[in-house]
């Protein structure tokens, strides 16, 4: 088992052999992957060393000190946070070799074709169809055995689809069985001619997301992840990792959305009122406590004591982001009545910090919807953490084709 001291030594050796200052960025990232320092908890040969996940921090600290380039984790967040752990858990050796390295380096951007207009919170109700075409041939020459799947349907809220090379996709392969059992998980080639990506404009005026229309998209069976009909189980791995990556970013005290509000309060005494003062302090306390809860969870994980608190992190931050940004608009008063720009734009990433209060207020409204609504997460906490009985379910034993929609 690799320990912290050995990892530190390996990282220093790696840095000596690949000095960041004189090594090309992509060459450096490839070498780092091949040295097993990309994600140390991944297996050897796949960018890791089979070490404890928490030890990544040791490597990252050494690399940061040395000024090493990073792999742009925001742009490739869906690949790193969702596609990679799913491929690692369910992919064939061939799939792992093919996909993980360009994914980690950032050569190939990934997106996630899960949500549909009729299947949001109830994701398992999805209607995008994948039908096996035994006689057909795939565009790809990589793999012909097992035939090809033909996919038709519509996906929505797809971040980064316009920039993505690959997508993780769930589709219905059997409408005759209950919804959770008839789903299969695929890797979809976004350059297939049947894939059409359209910008989806949202409340902020921007088109951060996309609608994706799939018409006769051909996917070789070699790009299936997991067994046919087993896609829901595979998707659970993706979704668990999504929630971790949404709620789990580490922030300093008075980081996050409370920062601009506190700064405005300190700098602009003319805006202060009793009412705003009380609300600001209440939210400051809640933001700090939420931050400490996240920090404590991280320490628990390092100590090998995982807790259920992670389920609550995203819930807590969604509510706080909304309340704090709502207060900020009011605090600014006359300025809060203005907006920076309604022109439709396609931002590279969601950045609350570089924007005005109105943008923060409107964009934060999505925090309780994207990546699992707060209502669904509260049910998960109530049922899985507290062990409360679930509401009566009428969808468990009904064939998907017979469900109400």
Partner 1 sequence: MTDLLYSEEEEALRSAVRGLLADHCDAAAVIARCETDQPHDRELWKALTDGMGLAGLLVPEELGGQGAAHREAAVVLEELGRAVAPVPYLTSAVVATEALLVCDGDAAAELLTALASGRTVGVLAVPLSAAAGQTFTDVREEGGALHGSVTGVADAAAADVLLVPTAAGLFAADVAQDGVTVTAQTSLDPTRPLATVTFDAARARALTSDTDLAVRMGLRAGAGLLASEQLGLAEWCLTETVRHTKERHQFNRPVGSFQALKHRLAQVWLEVVNTRAAARHAADALATGSDEPNLASALAQAYAAPVAVHAAEEALQLHGGIGMTWEHPLHLYLKRAKADSIAFGTAGRHRDELAALLDLQAP
Chain contacts with partner 1 (rule: CB under 8 A): 115, 119-122, 125, 156-157, 200-203, 205, 273-276, 322, 326, 329-330, 333-334, 336-342, 358, 361-362, 365-366, 368-370, 373-375, 378-379, 391, 393-395, 398, 403-405
In this structure, the chain runs to a length of 405
Please report how close the Cβ of residue 24 comes to partner 1 at its closest, in angstroms: 41
Strands 110-113 and 166-172: parallel
Please report how close the Cβ of residue 34 comes to partner 1 at its closest, in angstroms: 40
Q: Which residues of 326-360 are buried (b: 16+ CB within 10 A; e: fewer)?
A: bbbbebbeeebeeeeeeeeeeeeebebeebbbbbb
Please report how close the Cβ of residue 182 comes to partner 1 at its closest, in angstroms: 15
Q: Could you tell me the maximum CA-CA distance found in the chain, to the nearest angstrom?
A: 74
Residue 41 and residue 56 in contact, taking contact as beta carbons nearer than 8 Å: yes
Catalytic site residue 64? Answer: no
In this structure, how many other beta carbons lie within 10 angstroms of the beta carbon of residue 158? 23
Residue 245 and residue 82 in contact, taking contact as beta carbons nearer than 8 Å: yes
Alpha-carbon distances of 399 from 152, 178, 394, rounded to whole Å: 20, 4, 11
Q: For partner 1, which is the closer residue by CB, 122 or 254?
A: 122
Pick the closest to residue 350 from 174, 218, 217, 160 (CA basis).
160
Residue 372 and residue 124 in contact, taking contact as beta carbons nearer than 8 Å: no
Q: For partner 1, which is the closer residue by CB, 51 or 119?
A: 119
Query: Per the structure block, which two tokens stand in for 68?
Result: 């090493």
Residue 138 and residue 144 in contact, taking contact as beta carbons nearer than 8 Å: yes
Q: Hey, is 217 helix, strand or coil?
A: strand
Please report how close the Cβ of residue 152 comes to partner 1 at its closest, in angstroms: 21
Please report how close the Cβ of residue 333 comes to partner 1 at its closest, in angstroms: 5
Catalytic residue among 242, 286, 335, 383: 242
Q: For partner 1, which is the closer residue by CB, 224 or 363?
A: 363
Residue 321 and residue 367 in contact, taking contact as beta carbons nearer than 8 Å: yes
Concatenating the DSSP letter of every residue in 117-133 gives TTBSSSGGG---EEEEE
**CB-based burial label for 14 (10 Å; 0-12, 13-18, 19+):** buried
Question: Backbone dihedral region of 394: left (phi > 0), alpha (psi from -120 to 50 degrees) or beta?
Answer: alpha
DSSP 93: H
Please report how close the Cβ of residue 157 comes to partner 1 at its closest, in angstroms: 6
Please report how close the Cβ of residue 317 comes to partner 1 at its closest, in angstroms: 15
Catalytic residues: 242
């Amino acid at each position: 088992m690799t320990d912290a001291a050995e990892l530190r030594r390996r990282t220093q050796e790696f840095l000596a052999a690949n000095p960041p200052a004189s090594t090309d960025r992509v060459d450096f990232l490839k070498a780092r992957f091949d040295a097993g320092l990309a994600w140390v908890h991944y297996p050897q040969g796949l960018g890791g060393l089979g070490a404890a996940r928490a030890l990544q921090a040791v490597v990252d600290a050494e690399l940061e000190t040395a000024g090493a380039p990073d792999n742009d984790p925001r742009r490739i967040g869906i690949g790193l946070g969702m596609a990679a752990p799913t491929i690692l858990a369910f992919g064939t050796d061939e799939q792992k070799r093919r996909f993980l390295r360009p994914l980690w380096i950032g050569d190939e951007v990934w997106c996630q074709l899960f949500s549909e207009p009729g299947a949001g919170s109830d994701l398992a109700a999805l209607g995008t169809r994948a039908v096996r075409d035994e006689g057909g041939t795939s565009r790809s020459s990589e793999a012909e055995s097992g035939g090809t799947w033909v996919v038709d349907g519509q996906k929505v809220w797809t971040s980064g689809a316009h920039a993505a090379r690959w997508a993780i996709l769930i589709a219905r392969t059997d409408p005759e069985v209950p919804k959770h059992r008839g789903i299969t998980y695929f890797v979809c080639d976004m350059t297939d001619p049947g894939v059409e990506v359209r910008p989806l404009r949202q409340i902020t005026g921007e088109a951060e997301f996309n609608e994706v229309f799939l018409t006769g998209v051909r996917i070789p069976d070699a790009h299936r992840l997991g067994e046919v009909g087993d896609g829901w189980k595979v998707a659970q791995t993706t979704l668990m990792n999504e929630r971790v990556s949404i709620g789990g970013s580490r922030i300093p005290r008075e980081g996050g959305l409370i920062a601009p509000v506190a700064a405005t309060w300190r700098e602009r005494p003319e805006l202060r009122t009793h009412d705003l003062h009380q609300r600001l302090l209440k939210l400051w306390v809640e933001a700090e406590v939420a931050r400490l809860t996240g920090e404590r969870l991280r320490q628990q994980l390092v100590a090998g004591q995982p807790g259920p608190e992670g389920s609550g992190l995203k819930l807590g931050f969604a509510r706080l982001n909304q309340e704090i940004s709502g207060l900020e608009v009011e605090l600014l008063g006359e300025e809060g009545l203005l907006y920076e720009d309604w022109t439709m734009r396609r931002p590279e990433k969601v950045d609350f910090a570089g924007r005005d209060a109105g943008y923060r207020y409107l964009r934060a409204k999505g925090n309780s919807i994207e990546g699992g609504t707060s209502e669904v997460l509260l049910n998960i906490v109530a049922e899985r953490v507290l062990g409360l009985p679930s509401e009566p379910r009428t969808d468990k034993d009904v064939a998907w084709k017979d469900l109400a929609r």
